Amino acid sequence: MKQMNSIKLFTISILALLAVLVVACSPSAEKLNNEGNDKFAEEAYLEALAAYQQAQIDSPDLAEPYYNAANALYKEGAFPEALALMEQALSLASDESLAESAFYNRGNSSFNTQAYDEAVAAYTAALLLNPDDQDAKYNLELALQQQQQQQQEQEKNEDEQEQEQDQSQDDQNQEEEQQQDESQSSDQKQEQQNESQTGQDQQEDQQQNEEQQDQSENGDQEQKQEQTDQGQPQNGDNQDQQQPSQMPQPGQRMTAEQAEQLLAAIAEESETLQEKLGQMFVVPPVPPVQDW
């Protein structure tokens, strides 16, 4: 990558400042400026800065002490502070060449702070004052390249941030859906357990009702059996007393109807001959013996 040209014409600017100081400055400001120039040439930039700052105090309306102090700060890498003093020098500059150099150096300070928009503006202003300034043209080309690259990086970063936000939102939505699915699954399991428990309770109730019904039916049958047993004779003596004699009395003859019934009973084998005879022949009761 091309290297940016450094600040412009320090020696010439300082020498020009000497001429100005002879006419417009007090002897104290001229002496301080000379001391600053010597220190600047020795690359003792902080000592040069102190001398220039003192010259600003003695001659606050001159642009040159601010310009030279800004150059010293630039050499120390204090670019924001250099920019501030360069702005002040531009506000006080009455010489066009000094203004052009101030814009150029302001562009350098902005370039080093990666403020490429301000650097482009400063180099453009310098070229407007001096279109033949090749250093300003060269540095403007570098500033434009860096500005384009910076814009591309910013767009790329914005796209990446947007993608990250979208991904984060997708992950959040997926997590919420997963939690919702887990909650629904848990509810379904609980509902199935409740249904299973309800079915089990119903089955137990049905079984209990059936058992109670069976017990009730058994109790009714036992009660009916007891009532039936109570209505039947207790032994065979009463039956013998109530039924007529099984055998006909000697000498008694069978009627035609009795003979037919006897033959039918024998054919059906439903009753014994003795039983049928007992039903057909009823022995009349014996009259009681009378005392004469």
Residues sharing a CB contact under 8 Å with residue 129, sequence separation 6 or more, in sequence order: 96, 99, 100, 103
How far apart CA 93 and CA 126 sit, in angstroms, is 14
pLDDT tens digits for 269-287?
555 555 655 665 555 565 5
DSSP conformational letter for 254 = P
- Report in angstroms the alpha-carbon separations of 37 from 14, 40, 73: 7, 5, 14
**What is residue 280's predicted lDDT score, i.e. its pLDDT?**
57
Retrieve residue 209's tokens.
């009702």
Give ∠ CA 69-55-91 in degrees, rounded to 5.
60
Of 30, 40, 53, 31, the closest CA to residue 7 belongs to 40
pLDDT tens digits for 179-195?
888 888 888 888 888 88
**What is residue 52's predicted lDDT score, i.e. its pLDDT?**
92
pLDDT tens digits for 21-40?
433 556 687 788 778 888 99
Retrieve residue 13's tokens.
């600017």
**What is residue 272's predicted lDDT score, i.e. its pLDDT?**
59
Instruction: Give the range among 67-81, 112-126, 147-161, 226-240 with minimum mean pLDDT.
Output: 226-240
Of 77, 91, 92, the closest CA to residue 6 belongs to 77
Considering only residues 118 and 171, tell me which one the structure prediction assigns the higher pLDDT: 118
pLDDT above 70 covers what percent of the chain? 70
**Beta carbons within 10 angstroms of residue 155's beta carbon:** 10
- Asked whether the predicted pLDDT for residue 18 surpasses 60, the reply is no
How far apart CA 119 and CA 51 sit, in angstroms, is 28
- Asked whether the predicted pLDDT for residue 127 surpasses 90, the reply is yes
Banded pLDDT at 228 (limits 50, 70, 90): low
- Report in angstroms the alpha-carbon separations of 270 from 262, 266, 273: 11, 8, 10
**What is residue 247's predicted lDDT score, i.e. its pLDDT?**
46
Q: Which residue is associated with the tokens 């606050």?
A: 60
Residues sharing a CB contact under 8 Å with residue 170, sequence separation 6 or more, in sequence order: none
